[in-house]
Chain A
Amino acid sequence: MILSLVFFTFSFIFYILATTAYAGYWVFRKKWIGQIATALAFIALGSTTMVLISRAGEAGHGPFSNLWESMVLFVWATNAGYLMMEYRYKFKAIGTVVMSIMTLAMLAASLLPYRYKDVTPLNPALQSKWKWMTSLLSKWDLQNYAIGWLDFHVVTTFIGYAAFAISFGLAILYLLKNRYEARQQQVKLLDAFPDSKVLDEMSYRAVAWGFPFLAVGIVSGAIWANYAWGGYWSWDPKETWSLITWFIYAAYLHARVTRGWRGKRAAYLSILGFAAVIFLYWGVSFILPGLHAYA
Chain B
Amino acid sequence: MAEKAKEAAEGMDARWYRAIGSGIWSFLNSLKLTIFILISLAVTSIFGTAIEQNAPIEQYIADYGETWGKLILYANLNDMYYSWWFRGLILFLAVNIIVCTLERFPPKWKSLLNHKQERFEPRLIEKFAHHESLSLSASPEAVRDRLLQVLRKKRFGTVTSGGGGEFFIYAWKGRIGRLGSDMTHISLLLILLGALLGSIYGYRSTVFMNVGNTIDLKNENFMLRLDKFWIDYYDTGHIRQYNSLLTIVEDGKEVLQKQIWVNEPLHYKGIKFYQANYGLSWNKLEEAQIVFRRKVDDGTEISFAAKWNTLVDVPNSKYSVKLIAYTADFAYDEENNLVYSKSENPENPAIKIEVYEGDRLISSPWLFLNYPGIFPAIPDSDVDLVYTGHRGTWFSGLQYSRDPGTNVVWVGSAVMGIGFIMAFFIYHRRVWIHIKGGGQSTEIKIGGTVNKNTFAFERDLKEITGSVSSNERP
Binding site for B on A (CB under 8 A): 88-89, 120-121, 123-125, 127-128, 149, 198, 201-202, 204-205, 208-209, 211-212, 215-216, 219, 222-224, 226-233, 235, 237, 240-241, 243-245, 247-248, 250-251, 254-255, 257-258, 261, 276, 284, 288
Question: Which chain B residues border A243 with CB–CB below 8 Å?
Answer: 45
Contact A261 B263 (CB under 8 A): no
Binary per-residue interface labels of chain B (157-190) against chain A in the complex, 1 for a CB within 8 Å, 0 otherwise: 0000000000000000000000000000000000
Interchain CA distance A89-B453 in the complex, whole Å: 12
Verify B274–A229 contact, CB threshold 8 A.
yes
CA distance A209 to B420 in the complex (A): 10
**Interchain CA distance A128-B53 in the complex, whole Å:** 28
Q: A216-B417, A231-B401, A244-B42 are in contact. Are A257 and B31 (CB under 8 A)?
A: yes
A254 vs B39: C-alpha distance in the bound complex, in angstroms? 11
**Count of chain B residues with Cβ under 8 Å from any Cβ of A?**
50
Could you list 24 A-B pairs, sorted by A, with CB under 8 Å?
A124-B240, A125-B262, A128-B263, A212-B420, A215-B416, A226-B272, A227-B265, A228-B262, A230-B204, A230-B265, A231-B204, A235-B53, A235-B81, A240-B45, A240-B49, A241-B49, A244-B46, A248-B38, A251-B34, A251-B38, A258-B31, A258-B35, A284-B49, A288-B50
Residues of chain B within 8 A (CB-CB) of A254 are 31, 34-35, 38
The distance from the CB of B342 to the nearest CB of chain A, in whole angstroms, is 25
Given B38, B242, B424, which contacts A250 in the complex, CB threshold below 8 Å?
B38
**Distance in angstroms between the alpha carbons of A89 and B459 in the assembled complex:** 11
**B52-73 interface code vs A (CB 8 A; 1 in, 0 out):** 0100000000000000000000
The stretch that binds A, out of B309-317, B379-387, B403-411, is B403-411
**Could you tell me the distance between the alpha carbons of A201 and B458 in the complex, rounded to whole angstroms?**
13
Chain A CB within 8 A of B392 CB: no
Contact residues in B for A202 (Cβ distance below 8 Å): 455
Contact across chains for A201 and B242 when beta carbons are under 8 A apart: no
Give Cα A257–Cα B328 distance, bound, in whole angstroms: 64
Which of B420, B452, B453 has a CB less than 8 Å from the CB of A215?
B420
Complex Cα distance A186/B233, Å? 66
Q: Which residues of B contact A124 (CB under 8 A)?
A: 239-242, 261-263, 275
Q: How far is the CA of A232 from the CA of B407 in the complex (A)?
A: 11
Is B111 located at the chain interface by the 8 A CB criterion?
no
- B41 interface residue, CB < 8 Å from A? yes
* A226 & B406 in contact (Cβ 8 Å cutoff): yes
Contact A258 B48 (CB under 8 A): no
Indicate if the CB atoms of A223 and B234 lie closer than 8 Å. Answer: no
Assuming the contacts A216-B417, A233-B195, asked whether A258 and B38 have C-beta atoms less than 8 A apart, the reply is: no
CA distance A211 to B420 in the complex (A): 9
* Contact present for A261 and B35 (CB under 8 Å): yes
The answer on a CB contact under 8 Å between A251 and B241 is: no
User: B458 CB to closest chain A CB, in angstroms?
Assistant: 11
Name the A residues within 8 Å of B409 (CB-CB).
222, 232
Q: B276 contacts the other chain (Cβ, under 8 Å)?
A: yes
A261 CB contacts on chain B under 8 angstroms = 32, 35
Q: Number of residue pairs across A and B with beta carbons under 8 Å?
A: 123
Q: List residues of chain A with CB within 8 A of the CB of B34.
A: 251, 254
In the complex, what distance in Å separates the CA atom of A250 from the CA atom of B455? 22
Given A125-B262, A128-B263, A247-B42: A288 in contact with B49 (beta carbons within 8 A): yes
CB-CB < 8 A to B42: which residues of A? 244-245, 247-248, 251, 276
Contact B240 A230 (CB under 8 A): no
B39 touches A248 (CB 8 A): yes
What separation, in Å, do the CA atoms of A127 and B399 have in the docked complex?
18
State the Cβ distance, B283 to closest chain A Cβ, in Å: 24
Q: Is A89 within 8 A of B455, CB to CB? A: yes
Query: Does A125 lie within 8 Å of B81, measured CB to CB?
Result: no
Task: Identify A258's interface contact among B32, B241, B275, CB under 8 A.
Answer: B32
Instruction: Name the contact of B274 in the complex, choosing from A228, A235, A247 (C-beta under 8 A).
Output: A228
Could you tell me if A227 and B263 are in contact, using CB atoms closer than 8 angstroms?
Answer: yes
In this assembly, does B236 line the interface, its C-beta being within 8 Å of a C-beta of chain A? yes
Report if B269 contacts A (CB, 8 A). Answer: no
Q: Which residues of A contact B204 (CB under 8 A)?
A: 230-231
* Bound form: Cα–Cα A257–B178 in Å: 14
- Residues A244 and B274 in contact, CB atoms below 8 Å apart: no
When distances are taken between beta carbons in the complex, the residues of chain B under 8 Å from A245 are: 42
Report how far A209 CA is from B424 CA in the complex, Å.
Answer: 8
Chain B residues contacting A216 (CB-CB under 8 Å) are 417
The distance in angstroms between the C-alpha atoms of A284 and B42, with both chains bound, is: 15
The smallest beta-carbon distance between B301 and chain A, in angstroms, is 43
B421: chain A residues at CB < 8 Å are 212
User: Smallest distance from the beta carbon of B94 to chain A beta carbons, Å?
Assistant: 14
**B139 touches A (CB below 8 Å):** no
Q: Mark B13-45, 1 if CB is under 8 A from A, else 0.
A: 000000000000000000110110011011001
Q: Give every chain B residue within 8 A of A251 (Cβ-Cβ).
A: 34-35, 38-39, 42
Complex interface: chain A residues within 8 A of B276 (CB):
229-230
| Alpha-carbon gap, A224 to B452, bound state (A) | 34
Q: Give the chain B neighbours of A248 by CB distance below 8 A.
A: 38-39, 42
Note all chain A residues with C-beta closer than 8 A to B81: 235, 240
A237 contact from B38, B41, B49, B399, Cβ within 8 A: B49
Q: In the complex, A121→B235 CA distance in Å?
A: 10
Chain B residues near A231 (CB-CB < 8 A):
204, 401, 403
